[in-house]
Amino acid sequence: MSEPRLVEVRRNVLKQNDVIARSLREQFREAGVFVVSLVSSPGSGKTTFLEKTLTLLQPQYRVAALVGDLATENDAVRLARSKAPVKQITTGTLCHLEAAMVQNALSDWDLHQLDFLFIENVGNLVCPSSYDLGESLRLVLMSVTEGEDKPLKYPTIFNSADVAVITKNELAAAVEFDWETARKSIESVRPGMKIFRLSAKTGEGMTEYLEFLGQQLRERRSVVLR
Amino acid sequence: MHELSIAMGIVDAAMDEARQRGVQVSAVHLRLGALSGVVKDALLFCYEVACQDTPLAGSRLIVEDVPVVVFCSRCNDTRVLGSVQSFSCPECNTPTMDVRKGKELEVFALEVEE
């Protein structure tokens, strides 16, 4: 048998996902919908935060959500209380959403009828970082109960995100949350990252974050129109 | 744990290249960036599983780690980050998000037998 020889190839392992994500991004841009994906640990309050976001945006904007969950439809049921269109993507044993799942879930939705689309990823701070979903903005959520060093423990996902939201601020005093340490942790793994500190439960700090989203949508549309 | 689906993607890509060239693959060389979100040890373990019952069964996965390389605007040069926990220039400490390398997840060579 001949000696093994080395042949050069060039294959991006995630190419298939990236190609679909690119086409989704183009579709979103063309429809003028601003797409926000949410990543966080399990239990950080993603669903409560999203329910509040949908409810508060609704008087002014047309909003909808896709929700990734391993096995249940509980999140979609909770989010449906906001009266916004919500669709569940049950991933089975898969720990993250992929662009193809988003594409399939959206196949019968008219994106032109939307201002904002939220995509709630599976609760996981590791796996979702590798998969582009075509989103306009990736938002990473952490709660004050998770500890200030969370960003240092999961630098890849924080680095891949555009905005950080620290929630459950109503519990900050009880858990002696050190805001400055948390801010430094985020700044270290993602310099210049925009950070919102809020409570989805009491509504504190939500206004600033919602205004930011509105601003992003307006900027996006002015770019498209130009 | 998404390394199994990544490993299956690697096997698919390598099989596809091998089929086109009409060769047997004995090893797959992969560039793995520190920001790829993939854990090397888990990937190596999953690779064996993903190869089972495919023409790549028994082949090896050889991983080349790629550190994060950033561009520092103050030094006007690229710098290798010591850690993904600190996105600052290791020379002058200026924060930077201008990532030039480190997100790779790429099969770049195959060891083949005719």
Task: Determine whether the interchain pair A7/B27 forms a contact, defined as Cβ–Cβ distance below 8 Å.
Answer: no
- The verdict on A152 touching B (C-beta cutoff 8 Å) is yes
Chain-wide mean pLDDT for chain A?
92
Across the interface, do B109 and A1 touch by the CB < 8 Å criterion? no
pLDDT at B44: 96
Cα A27 to Cα A117: distance, rounded to the nearest angstrom: 12
From CA B83, how far away is CA A115, in angstroms rounded? 39
Closest to B109 (Cβ–Cβ): which among A8, A14, A189?
A: A8
pTM, to two decimals: 0.92
Q: Tell me what the mean pLDDT of segment A200-221 comes to.
A: 96
Quick one: tokens of B58? 């028994």
β-sheet bridge partners, residue A140? A39, A164
d(CA B83, CA B81): 5
Tens of pLDDT, residue by residue over A29-82, are 999 999 999 999 999 999 999 999 999 999 999 999 999 877 777 777 888 888
Q: Is B42 on the interface with A (CB under 8 A)?
A: no
Rg of the Cα trace of chain A? 19
- Which of A9, A93, A160 should be substituted to probe chain B, the one whose Cβ sees the most B Cβ atoms within 10 Å? A9
Chain A closest CA to B1's CA: distance in Å?
7
**In which region does residue B4 sit, left (phi positive, over 0), alpha (psi from -120 to 50) or beta (all else)?**
alpha
Of B21, B82, B81, B103, the closest CA to residue A7 belongs to B21
Of A6, A13, A156, the CB nearest to B10: A13
pLDDT in tens, B36-89: 999 999 999 999 999 999 999 999 999 999 999 999 999 999 999 999 999 999
Nearest to B62 by CA among B92, B86, B29: B29
The mean pLDDT of B105-114, rounded to a whole number, is 94
SS3 A15: helix
Residues B114 and B109: their CA atoms lie apart, in Å, by 15
* A1 has a pLDDT exceeding 70: no
A209 in helix, strand or coil?
helix
Contact A151, A158 (CB under 8 A): yes
Q: How confident is the model at residue B111 (pLDDT cuts 50, 70, 90)?
A: very high
More confident residue, A186 or B2: A186
Complex confidence, ipTM = 0.88
